[in-house]
Structure 1
C-alpha cells in the first residue's frame, strides 16, 4: 500500500474534485478537449498468429504531462480496457524511460513531451490473410500541469491488416529507442534500516550521467528522497530511501528502470533478494558524466592500436604503401608537409564519422560503429570507390595524388593531394573493422562528447602514424627501396588486394540488398570502368578528362539514387553454419537460460573483417561443434549486417558500440562472461569444460 500521506496530496484531491464536478454537470471528461491527445497505431501488417506492435501515441500540450506506470508520489498511470477480435491477445504495455518532476517535495514520474506506449498484440491464428481486424481500447489517464490535474479518457480505434504485404511505420524505430534496454542479468537488492539498496550488473566502462532508479512497484521506496549511487567494478549500487509508514511485506523480486542521465537512455532490470556489496566509488562530478582519466587514456591507447592495425588491412595497405613510396621520392620539406597533411585528412575523417555517430545516438537513433555500412547507398559508393581505386592501381587511368605519372618522376600532388588521400584512406578503411577498435569505440560512448572525439582522433592518428613517421624520420625513408621502374609494377600488384576488397564489397552488396541490388552494383561498376577509360584517353591526349569525369559523377549519382530502391526486404542468406545457430533475441536467450542450458551468443556482421576471421578460425570449426553438441550448448547469432534496433540496444546494454561481441552463459544460470574480441582456435571448445 502507498502511504496515506502520499496519496492524499493536493494534486490527487484536485483531480478527484474535478471528476466529481464534471459528473454532476453531466459532462464526462472525455467530452472536453483533452490536454493530452491520444491515438492508437499499428506498426505494420502481420500474418495470422504473429505478433505486431501497437503504439499509444500520447501528445501533451505545452506545460502538461502524463505519467509512467508507477506515477510516484502523486498522479495516476495509464489504464487500458481492450476490445479485441476473438483469439487476439494484448500483452503488458511497455513505457519509455520516464523523467523526474519534483513539486512541493513530491516526486513524480512523468513525461513532459510526446511519448509512445508500445503494446505487443498477437493476432488470432484463424485470421484470414487480407482481412482488416478492428482494434479498440478505452484509455484513461491523468493530465497535469504544475497547478492542476484533469482526469482524461478516450475511445481509441485502430486496425491491423492480416498479411505480410505493406510497409512499416518508420516512427516505431524511434519509439523503441526510447524504451529502456533490457538487462540480460539479474541484480540483487536488500533492505537496510532506512534504505533500499540495489546491486545492478553494469560494465565499469559503461556510460553513466546523472542516474535515477525508478522502482516499478509501489510502497517500497521514498521517491523524493535523494538517491545515491556507487561503482564497484562491474557493479553499480543504487541506494534509495525506504518508503515511510508501516512496513509492507518485503518482496522476493524487484523490477524497475535505471535512467542513465542525459541522452544515454535507460536499462530495464529485475533484481532478486540477495546480498548487496558495501562500499564503492560515489558516482558524481566527473564520474557522473561517465568520465575518468583512466577510461580516457585506455580508450585513446586502444584506438591508436586499432588505427595502426588498419594499415595492414587489404583496403588500406595499398594506398598507404604507394603514398609512402611517392613520399620517399620527394625532398625533406615536402615529406614533412605531406606527412602532416595526410595524417590531418585521416584524423578529420575519423572525427567526422565519430561525430556523426554521436549525433545520431543523441537524436535517438539506434546506431553503433560502422553504422554507415548498414546503409545500402553507402555500400554502393564504396563499390564505386573501390572500383575506381582498383582501376587506378591497374594503370587504367591516373588519380591525382595517388598515382605515379611515370616510373621516374615523383608524384607532385603536394599537401592538398596528401590531405585528400588521407580522407580517402579513412573512408575506404571503414569496411575493415579490426581488433581493438570495438572496445575503444565502446569506451568512447561512455565519455563526454569532447573526450569521445579525442578517441576518434586517436584512431585517425593510429591510421596515419606510419605515413607521418616516414615523413618526419629520414632514416625510415632511406630504408625504403630506391625509385625505379619497379614502382609502376608494384602499383599494378597492389591492384590485387584492392580487387579482393572490391569482390568483398560486391558480396556485401548482395548480402545487404539482395540479388537485384547486387547485380546492379556490378553493372554500375562495369559502367564506371568504361567512364574511367574515357578519362585515360583524354589524359593521354593531354586534354582535361571532362566527358569521362561527368560520366563517372553521373554513375555515382545513379548509384545513390537508384540502388537503394532495389533493396530487398529480405537480405540474401548464406549457407547454414556448422553450429546450427539460432537467430538472437532476448526471448530466445531467456528461454535457453531458463532451461539451464549453456549459451554462446555472438554478434557479427558481413562487413566486419575481424568477425569473419574469428568465425573461420574459432567458431565454424568441427572441434567447436563437437564440444558444443556434447555439452548441449545453445548457439545464438545476432546478425548486425543490417540495422537492427533490438541488437543495437542489447550491444549498448553490454557496453559495446559495435561488433564483434562474444558472450558465454554457463549452464545453471551463472553470470555471463564476455570473451575477447580476438578468438583463438581452441578457446570455444574449452568453454563447456569450464562449466
Structure 2
C-alpha cells in the first residue's frame, strides 16, 4: 500500500507540474524503434532484434524490477506465421532516486534484446514484417504512460548465403550486449539474518581501491528495502554487501537472484561490471513448443473487443448468483414487493435507476483503476480490498444494514446516506444506491469468463477498457432490469403482508455472514491489535445504532443528544478505521504443503525441469476460497500432486504485492484467481477460474507418475 500511495502522490504532483510546464506527450519523452542485427534473415536461423528507447534528458524508464515505483516496459509481438520471439534480455540497470523512493531503470538510452526464430520454410526474396506493441512508463518527478506500435521489414536471403550484420546497427548491438549481465566468475553466497541479507563474492583478485559504486538489483520486487543503504566492505577475501530485507517476517531465502554491478578501475580506464547472481534470470521461456492442453475447458485468450465484451456480459450475469451479491439483490427484490402497487412506469424507473447505479459504480472503479495503472501503480481488479480500511468500512456498512433488517434501528430520511437506509428508500435514489452497493460487494467475487475480459480491458485504450467494464456492469444489472420491465413477473410476486417482516429478518443473516467473512479477511491483513480494533469497531456500530434508535420519537432535547452521541461514535469509528493500516499482519508459516510464490522460485524450479502448479489467490476472493476447499484441498488432488512430484506455489494477493501483480499481468489477468500448471519450461496450461477436483485431475493427467519412493512428501520419508 505504501508503494501505491507513493505512486499516487507522484502522479498528483505530476499533474501540477504538467499544468505549470505544459502537457508532456509520451512521444516527446521517449523515441522508440525496432531494430535488427542482421541485414537479412535466413530460413530457420535465429537472429537478434532490439527494442531501442531513447529518453529525454532527466527522464527514465524501468528495469524488469522497477524498484519502489513504476512499471517495466512490456512488448507484445505480432509476428508472421511460424515466427517465434524469445524472452527479453534486460541490460543492467542503474539506481534512480526519486524523492524518498529508489527506482531501478535506464536513463538516456537503452536497448532490450530478444531472439526471433523464423520457420524453416521461408520463401526468399519477399520481405517479412515484424511488429511489436511497446507499452512503457516514463518518469521524471511525474510519470507519463506511453505506447508505441513498432514495425520492421526485413529481406529474406537464400538458405546457405551469408547475410552479415547491418553496418548501421553493428555498434548499437555491440553496446547492448556489453550492457547485459554475465554469470559471475567468482562464487557468490547469501547469508541471511533476521532483518538483513549479506551478499558475499569471493573475489580476492579485486583490489579494494579499484572498486566503486557497488549496487545490487534483485529480481524479486519485495526482496530488499530498495531505498535503504547498501553497505559495502572489501578486503582480501572479496566483496561483502549488506542489504536490508524487504519482508523480515518471511522465511529467509537460500539465494538472492539478481544483478550485482560495480565500477572497476583498470589500466584501460573505468569499466562497469554487471554479474547475474543466484538462479537463472529468465522471466519467461519462449512459447514455441508448448504442450497441448488437456481436454478441459479453458478461457479464450487472444480476445477481440467484441469477444471481451461478450465474456464480460456473461460474467456479469453469473455475478448475480455469487454469495457477495445475492443478499443485496434480495433486499431490492423485497422492496419491489413493497412497491408492487405503484404504476408499472414507476417500477420500470426503479430498474433503470438500479442499472444506472451499477454502471456508474463499475465505470467509476474502472476509471480509477485504469488511471492509477497508467500512473504506474501495480494494482488490479479488486485492488480496493487490499486496503484494510476499505475492508473494515465495508464490513461496518453491511453490519449496520443487518441491524436495520433485524429491526434494531430504523434508518429514515434523516441519515438517508447510510447503507440500508438508502437501499430500502421508496425513492429512485434507493435503487441507484443499491446498484452501487451491489457493485462494491461484487468485487471480491470472480465469475467465470471475467478473468480474460478484465485482463483484456486493462491492456487496451481507456475507451475500450471502459466499454468492457460497462458490459460487465450491464450483465450484473440485467436480471433486475428485466424483472422491473416485465409486468407478468411483477404480478407473480406475492402481495405485501406480515410475511415481509419475517423475510426481512431472515435476510439479515446472510448480511451478517458477509460482514463476518470480511472481518476474517481483515484478520489476514492486520495484526492482533488491528483485529481487536476492528472487532471493537463492530461494537461501536451497534452502540451508534442503539443510541440513534433511542432518540427516535423522543423529546427534542433527548433526540438531539442521542443522535449527537451516535454521530460522535461514528466519527470515532472513522478514526479507528483509518488507523488499521498501521498494524499489518506478518507472514504466516505454511503447513499445507505449499510454498510461497516468488518469481525467482518459479524460475529456479523450471530451470530444474520440475513440474509446478501455481495458485494465485486472495483471502477476499470468494471464488478462490471455494476452489481451494472443493477442489485443490481434496485428498485426491493432493495425492495426484504428490504422486507426480508437482511443486505447489501459492501467491497470496490479499495485500498488495507488486511481484504477483506483474505476474498476473504477464498472463493477461488483472485479478485472482489464476491457476497455472507448468509441465515443462514452455507455456503453462491455464485452468478455468471455477475448479472441480475432476478438472484439476484431468490437467495433472498429462504428467507421468513418479515411483512411490520419489513421490513421498519430505515428512513421510
Q: Structure 2 length normalisation: TM-score?
A: 0.59
Structure-2 separation of matches of 1:525 and 1:553: 11
Indicate how the Cα distance of structure 1 residues 172 and 493 shifts in structure 2: closer, same or farther if over 3 A, else same: farther
Structure-1 separation of matches of 2:511 and 2:478: 21
Match of 2:687 among 659, 675, 690: 675
Structure-2 separation of matches of 1:619 and 1:376: 27
In structure 2, what is the equivalent of residue 492 of structure 1? Answer: 505
Mark the runs of 5 or more structure 2 residues left unpaired by the alignment.
4-20, 37-49, 66-93, 135-144, 155-162, 181-280, 291-300, 417-422, 704-717
In structure 2, what is the equivalent of residue 636 of structure 1? Answer: 649
In structure 2, what is the equivalent of residue 413 of structure 1? Answer: 426
SS of residue paired to 2:551: helix
In structure 2, what is the equivalent of residue 376 of structure 1? Answer: 388
Would you say the 8 A contact 1:528–1:555 is kept in 2? no
Would you say the 8 A contact 1:383–1:521 is kept in 2? no
Would you say the 8 A contact 1:99–1:110 is kept in 2? no
Superposition CA RMSD, Å: 4.8
Would you say the 8 A contact 2:320–2:476 is kept in 1? yes
Q: Deviations over 1:549-600 (max 9, x none)?
A: 51354144214432222334x25x37632xx121112221111111111111
In structure 1, what is the equivalent of residue 441 of structure 2? Answer: 428
Equivalent residues in 2 for 1:234-273 (5 A)? Answer: 243-245=165-167
In structure 2, what is the equivalent of residue 509 of structure 1? Answer: 522
Q: Does 1:558 align with 2:571?
A: no
Match of 1:227 among 106, 128, 152: 152
In structure 2, what is the equivalent of residue 342 of structure 1? Answer: 354
SS of residue paired to 1:396: coil
Would you say the 8 A contact 1:377–1:564 is kept in 2? yes
Match of 1:114 among 50, 59, 64: 59
Indicate how the Cα distance of structure 1 residues 275 and 601 shifts in structure 2: closer, same or farther if over 3 A, else same: closer
Would you say the 8 A contact 2:619–2:654 is kept in 1? yes
In structure 2, what is the equivalent of residue 461 of structure 1? Answer: 474
Equivalent residues in 2 for 1:517-532 (5 A)? Answer: 517-532=530-545
SS of residue paired to 1:380: helix
Structure-2 separation of matches of 1:688 and 1:448: 37
Would you say the 8 A contact 2:446–2:673 is kept in 1? no
SS of residue paired to 2:148: coil
Aligned residue pairs: how many? 488
SS of residue paired to 2:655: coil
Would you say the 8 A contact 1:334–1:414 is kept in 2? no
Mark the runs of 5 or more structure 1 residues left unpaired by the alignment.
1-42, 44-60, 74-96, 101-108, 121-155, 160-167, 213-225, 230-240, 258-266, 277-290, 404-409
Would you say the 8 A contact 2:544–2:570 is kept in 1? no
Q: Deviations over 1:198-257 (max 9, x none)?
A: 89999xxxx995344xxxxxxxxxxxxx5269xxxxxxxxxxx98424999x99x99999
Would you say the 8 A contact 2:287–2:682 is kept in 1? no
Structure-2 separation of matches of 1:608 and 1:98: 38
Q: Does 1:328 align with 2:273?
A: no
Would you say the 8 A contact 1:354–1:456 is kept in 2? yes
Indicate how the Cα distance of structure 1 residues 685 and 71 shifts in structure 2: closer, same or farther if over 3 A, else same: closer
Structure-2 separation of matches of 1:274 and 1:526: 58
Match of 1:295 among 301, 304, 308: 304
Would you say the 8 A contact 1:624–1:684 is kept in 2? yes
In structure 2, what is the equivalent of residue 390 of structure 1? Answer: 402
Would you say the 8 A contact 1:310–1:432 is kept in 2? yes
Q: Does 1:598 align with 2:543?
A: no
Indicate how the Cα distance of structure 1 residues 335 and 157 shifts in structure 2: closer, same or farther if over 3 A, else same: closer
Structure-1 separation of matches of 2:481 and 2:606: 51
Deviation at 1:311, TM superposition (A): 2.0
Match of 2:563 among 522, 546, 551: 546
In structure 2, what is the equivalent of residue 689 of structure 1? Answer: 701
Indicate how the Cα distance of structure 1 residues 619 and 119 shifts in structure 2: closer, same or farther if over 3 A, else same: closer
Would you say the 8 A contact 2:35–2:152 is kept in 1? no
Q: Deviations over 1:502-531 (max 9, x none)?
A: 111111111011222111111011111100
In structure 2, what is the equivalent of residue 82 of structure 1? Answer: none
Equivalent residues in 2 for 1:91-106 (5 A)? Answer: 100=53
Deviation at 1:546, TM superposition (A): 3.3
Deviation at 1:670, TM superposition (A): 3.8
Structure-1 separation of matches of 2:701 and 2:455: 30
Structure-2 separation of matches of 1:71 and 1:299: 29
Deviation at 1:479, TM superposition (A): 2.0
Deviation at 1:500, TM superposition (A): 1.1
Deviation at 1:454, TM superposition (A): 1.7
Would you say the 8 A contact 2:63–2:104 is kept in 1? no
Q: Structure 1 length normalisation: TM-score?
A: 0.61
In structure 2, what is the equivalent of residue 318 of structure 1? Answer: 327
Would you say the 8 A contact 2:35–2:169 is kept in 1? no
SS of residue paired to 1:494: helix
Would you say the 8 A contact 2:311–2:450 is kept in 1? yes
In structure 2, what is the equivalent of residue 576 of structure 1? Answer: 591
Would you say the 8 A contact 1:254–1:272 is kept in 2? no
Structure-2 separation of matches of 1:274 and 1:619: 29
SS of residue paired to 1:662: strand
Equivalent residues in 2 for 1:6-17 (5 A)? Answer: none
SS of residue paired to 2:688: coil
